[in-house]
Structure 1
Amino acid sequence: MAAIALGIIGFGIMGERLLRAALDHAAAHVRPVGVWDPSPAAAARLAEVAPGVPMLEGAAAVIEACDCLYVAAPPRAHLPLAEAALGAGKAVFLEKPLAVDLAEARAFVAKAEALGARAAVNFPMASSPAVAQLSAWREEGATGPAESLAIEVAFARWPRGWQQEAATWLSRRAEGGFTREVVSHFLFLTRRQLGPLALEEARVTWPGRDASETAIAARLTAGGLPVTLSGGVGTTEKDDHNTWTLRGPAGAIRLRDWSFAERLGADDGWHGAPDALPNEKMRPLVLKRQLASVAAMTRGKVHGLATLREALEVQEVVEAILASG
């Protein structure tokens, strides 16, 4: 089966990552046919990274050339680009959040669902081997009936060191912040593992002016299960540290630092899966799986990618947390 033609709009960190994965690991599934980003620096980087992939003259040219459009632009551009691609009969693979305005996101999802649009959102945990290991342990009874979940995220600074080129929007209250950028991934994981999310209470610390949040604390439920969430900037020496810890009467399991599936042992120590890899080595495997699912989605086949509805449910909770401050 021929690889689907993939177009990319936005050649920042995520656009480059997905393009590299497409070229190096997923050529059987996708064929990059063009990129567009208005930045001259992005054009220069594309010429260095993938000289065989053209920088096209605009968004419309990328949409025309592709079977599926990957939208990796800043959040304000997500829906206009997605609507243009869907209107042209193309499939769409979106970065989160869906939109800056929740009402617009709700309307977009309702319309897309009514039309049976081929669209999905890039939550890589949908394709994570570490998450698959957590699911397998749960099926084996590692925790017994789940009783509680704790989510913790911490950062030395925000944006993280590797995101500084995108600081103009990632550090701002309107579109950025770690709750949208990072916590959303763990809320998606929680929704997939445990059920519908409901926010009970939250607190947010804002540093002033239009800067993004520096700390959050929240209580939620997921499928009726109690969930605690905490996060902060300047609370670790690591660029990025996180844990997702599920407990029950039979024990506990967790996902640590994105890619390490760990199980609590009888010695009260955490023991990793034997095939665990650090995130930088796991990421290409995850993106290869994501792109295989993108190809399936584009062909109208069954896939495991995050749906628009799941992404909207996550965004509803994220924005409710941020609004509590």
Structure 2
Amino acid sequence: MASAASDAVALGIIGFGIMGERLLRAALGHPAPPVRLSGIWDPSPAAAERLKEVSPDLSMAGSAEAVIAGCDLLYIAAPPAAHLPLAEAALGAGRAVFLEKPLSHDTVAARRFVERAEASGARAGVNFPMASSPAVAGLRDWIGEGAVGMPASLEIEVAFATWPRSWQRDAAAWLSGRAEGGFTREVVSHFLFLTRRLLGPLSLESARARFPGDEGAETAIEARLSAGGTPVLLRGGVGTTERDDTNSWTLRGPAGAVRLRDWSVAEREGPGGWAAAPDALPNERMRPLVLQGQLDKAAAMTRGEPHSLATLREALEVQEVVEAILAAG
């Protein structure tokens, strides 16, 4: 087991879908790896084939239990219904846990889990990558320098050509369903986390959600919230753009406006319109760097060192707002 900052933390991964693969690639490409892969498991034969393509030297472990037994840190990237049982098993075995969001599709169960984990001092964080985003750090700096002044309003907009997005088709069985999937859980939650981090506690004031006639995920939402006293307008819809997805987080105040566009581009409004930060990168190039930052923080968490990953409490607050929006449909 890892015992010093110079030791690579033994990382186990359960779930080798899109996010499991992305995190593994980030670990393999890290210039100074803080983790070493100790085991990976997914029950899907297709996942095993993808693993061979990513790294021919790696193979699937025999079970989830074997991965937990061999790791210091467990990354849980399975569908939401499996998150809490796997996290409970790992924490019970003395491991640190790095969870995908949402904590669960069951808010009551998530609340109980967070209360127990906090009471026990569990080492656990949630993968909201904006916690390691250079673009978000730039926004924070601009806001701190007075680019906005006292925040007056925030507008969050997300749009999708289809749901799930084209690259998520392999996970459509659960992503397209009302029980566990939908863009509010999968995408809007990231921007609610960002809002919570930069502006303060979230309070939902009104919401509506539109669903198809079957058990499919939502096709549109609109909500009004408050974040640390700042009014927030949130809108999202499917079939409202030709792109896989597009999004913006725009904060305005008496001194000006800043925004995060398409996940990774920080922009500041000036006399000539919107201007991107000099170091802005498209999300395809930014994402691996952000995930490597997340791995650095997860390794620090495992060693009991300070870190700035999303906490279980932050993730729970976001989940509660998301589920309340969906319940308004």
Shorter-chain TM-score: which interval? over 0.9
| Contact 1:69/1:90, CA 8 A, preserved across alignment | yes
Gaps (5+ residues) in structure 1? none
Task: Note closer, same or farther for the CA distance 1:320–1:187 as it changes in structure 2 (3 Å cut).
Answer: same
Partner of 1:90: 95
**Count of aligned positions:** 324
Q: Does 1:199 align with 2:230?
A: no
| Contact 1:33/1:54, CA 8 A, preserved across alignment | no
Partner of 1:300: 304
Q: In the TM superposition, what is the alpha-carbon distance from 1:50 to its structure 2 partner?
A: 1.5
One-letter amino acid matched to 2:151: A
Q: Does 1:279 align with 2:283?
A: yes
TM-score norm. by structure 2 comes to 0.98
Per the alignment, in what secondary structure is the counterpart of residue 151 of structure 2?
coil
Q: CA RMSD in A?
A: 0.7
Partner of 2:9: 4
One-letter amino acid matched to 2:231: P
Per the alignment, in what secondary structure is the counterpart of residue 13 of structure 2?
strand
TM-score norm. by structure 1 comes to 0.99
One-letter amino acid matched to 1:317: V
Q: In the TM superposition, what is the alpha-carbon distance from 1:33 to its structure 2 partner?
A: 1.3
Q: Distance in 2 between matches of 1:210 and 1:26?
A: 44
| Contact 1:72/1:94, CA 8 A, preserved across alignment | yes
Q: Distance in 1 between matches of 2:182 and 2:53?
A: 30
Provide the identity percentage: 73
One-letter amino acid matched to 1:64: A
Partner of 2:3: none
| Contact 2:265/2:281, CA 8 A, preserved across alignment | yes
2:315 counterpart (297, 307, 311): 311
Q: In the TM superposition, what is the alpha-carbon distance from 1:162 to its structure 2 partner?
A: 0.5
| Contact 1:259/1:278, CA 8 A, preserved across alignment | yes
One-letter amino acid matched to 2:282: P
Q: In the TM superposition, what is the alpha-carbon distance from 1:271 to its structure 2 partner?
A: 0.3
Partner of 1:70: 75
Runs (4+) of structure 1 exceeding 3 A deviation are: none
One-letter amino acid matched to 2:189: S
Per the alignment, in what secondary structure is the counterpart of residue 319 of structure 2?
helix
| Contact 1:26/1:292, CA 8 A, preserved across alignment | no
Q: In the TM superposition, what is the alpha-carbon distance from 1:44 to its structure 2 partner?
A: 1.2
| Contact 2:48/2:59, CA 8 A, preserved across alignment | no
Equivalent residues in 2 for 1:138-287, closer than 5 Å: 138-267=143-272, 269-287=273-291
Q: In the TM superposition, what is the alpha-carbon distance from 1:26 to its structure 2 partner?
A: 5.6
| Contact 1:26/1:288, CA 8 A, preserved across alignment | no
Gaps (5+ residues) in structure 2? 1-5
Q: Does 1:289 align with 2:293?
A: yes
Per the alignment, in what secondary structure is the counterpart of residue 58 of structure 2?
coil
Per the alignment, in what secondary structure is the counterpart of residue 141 of structure 2?
helix
Q: In the TM superposition, what is the alpha-carbon distance from 1:257 to its structure 2 partner?
A: 0.1
Q: Distance in 2 between matches of 1:190 and 1:224?
A: 12
| Contact 1:171/1:212, CA 8 A, preserved across alignment | yes
